[in-house]
Amino acid sequence: MLIISLIGFTALAMVVHELGHLLAARLCNVPASELGLGVGPRLFGFQLGNIRFGLRALPLGSFVALDGTVLKASPVRAQLLVHLGGVIFNVAAGFLTYGTLFGWLNLLLAAGNLLPLYQHDGWKCGVVIIRWLLRRNSKPAERVFTFSGGFASLLIAWAVVRILM
Residues labelled as active-site residues: 18
Distances (CA, A) of 150 to 53, 80, 113: 31, 20, 12
Using alpha carbons, select from 26, 24, 22 the residue that is nearest to residue 36. 22
- Sequence-distant (6+) residues with CB within 8 A of 56 are 36, 37, 38, 39, 40, 41, 42, 43
Question: Shortest CA distance to 2 belongs to which of 116, 101, 129, 141?
Answer: 101
CA 152 to chain centre: 18
CB-count burial class (<10 Å; 0-12, 13-18, 19+) for 93: buried
